[in-house]
Amino acid sequence: MSIETSEIRHLLTFGGMRAEGRLAAQLWAAFLTIGAFLVWYLFRADFWMWQFIVLGLWYAGLMWFGIRWPAFRILFLVVIGIAAIGVGLYQSGYTAANSAALYYVFQSTSMFYWMSAAILISAIGYYRYLFSGHQSAGDWGHRFAWVTVALGFAGLAIRWQETYIGHPSWGHIPVTNMYDAMVLLCTTTALFYLYYEGQGKNRGLGAFAMPMILVADIFLVWVGVAYHQNQIQPVIPALQSFWIKLHVPCEFIAYANFYLAAMVGVAYLLKEKAERTGGALVSRLPDLNKLERIMGSMVMFGFLFFTAGTILGAVWAAKAWGGFWSWDPKETWALIVWLNYAAYLHMRSNKSFGQHNKGRKLAWWATISLITVTFCFIGVDLFLGGLHSYAKL
């Protein structure tokens, strides 16, 4: 996902687009500009420096994604439309107890169950495409991956509104327990998978990405049912911070890319074996060089956001606890993850790192790294505790 200076200039001038594409990009730019101005105008009295910075970053990020990836524009509008219905029903005084629409569809927990169904259908479709070659199955997997992302982000927006209902002082961004975190992980991972799928024009990798997301979703449903984490609860003082809106998104963009890199690593190893022994995977997955490049891009993009998220987390820690670093278990494992992927990127750029089987080594590295990422993300909360154990069960 790296982008050169010439490409930045190309994007800013909408170069290289057909007339209709250029018009759509210009409308997108105008839509975002008006939206950002309205946010500034309505909330400027409550904003301070960092909130203006965040608004600018969101504006730039959404602008870039929408111009570079036209499908994202449609997704953004669909998410706003779905979320607006749910939020509008709540603000009109309806609840799940007196509105069938909220009870069955537009309350966040119902929407997340529908998201779970979409993940399952998508995983089955991609899996069938990979092993049977049915293009229609891959198409259905692709469509329901989009449904997953739309329902996930719209559900999180509605859940944010739900945190204010009954107890306005409880209102918070919905990323404060394991249930919310798993929703965000599933949704963000599916979104980035669809981006990479669009860049590579190949749906075979969906049979690796969506089943992995399905496993995360099963865990999500379990913590909701068994531990009632789908119920809105007040957050502890340490989480009542502006910094959570910066730190958490960065970390989950990183986690999504690291998880996807691991699945591409598995695909690389299976493709390599299929090329030696024969099999359907030879024709339904990208070639090995492309798989290695995709895997490297995912790790690099994840590493950048993990670095930013870790720095922001240190600033937050200084505000909350008086020190940037305390060797808390979460901080220690974050450092382990950072060093692991820093070493991966260093070895990938090192020409002496086993050129004849470099791709295989990197694929194994990315796959095994799944253990360190998962333990940092979930294992620390479940088994080690510490200051960061907000998502414990």
CB hemisphere CA count around 86 (13 angstroms): 29
Q: Check residues 77 and 47 and name the one with the higher pLDDT.
A: 77
Residue 16: predicted pLDDT: 52
The amino acid at 209: A
Cα-flanking dihedrals φ and ψ of residue 228, to 5°?
55, 30
Backbone angles phi, psi at 385, to 5 degrees: 75, -150
Mean pLDDT of 379-385: 79
Q: Is there a contact between 324 and 279 (Cβ–Cβ < 8 Å)?
A: no
- The DSSP 8-state label assigned to residue 353 in this structure reads S
Please name which of 87, 251, 248 lies closest in space to residue 155, comparing C-alpha atoms.
87
Tokens of 263: 């699945």
- Residue 194, CA atoms < 13 Å, CB-side half-sphere: 25
What Å distances lie between residue 161 and 66, 234, 345, CA to CA? Answer: 26, 14, 40
**Secondary structure E strands in the chain:** none
pTM of the model: 0.91
3-class DSSP state for residue 3?
coil
* pLDDT tens figures, 119-151: 999 999 999 999 888 899 999 999 999 999 999
Q: Can you give the C-alpha Rg of the chain in angstroms?
A: 21
Residue 172: phi and psi, rounded to 5, are: -160, 160
Q: Give the separation between CA 217 and CA 2, rounded to whole angstroms.
A: 30
Report the distance separating Cα 319 and Cα 261, nearest Å: 33
- Does 1 have pLDDT greater than 70? no
Enumerate the domain spans of the chain: 67-235, 247-393
Q: Count helices and strands (H / E) in the chain.
A: 14, 0
CA-CA distance, 185 to 162, in Å (whole number)?
A: 20
Q: How many CB atoms are closer than 10 A to CB 275?
A: 14
CB–CB of 306/254 below 8 Å? yes
Q: Are 310 and 325 in contact (CB under 8 A)?
A: no
Place of tokens 């470099």: 358
Q: How many CB atoms lie within 10 A of CB 199?
A: 13
Pairwise CA distance, residues 22 & 11, whole Å: 10
Architecture of domain 67-235 in this structure: Up-down Bundle (1.20)
Phi, psi of 118 (to 5 degrees): -65, -40
Query: How far, in Å, are 135, 247, 277, 385 from residue 230 at the CA level?
Result: 37, 22, 47, 21
- If one compares 354 and 232, the residue with the highest pLDDT of the two is 232
pLDDT at 380: 84
The pLDDT score that the predictor gives to residue 7 is 44
| pLDDT tens-place string over residues 300-348 | 999 999 999 999 888 888 877 777 877 888 889 999 999 999 999 999 9
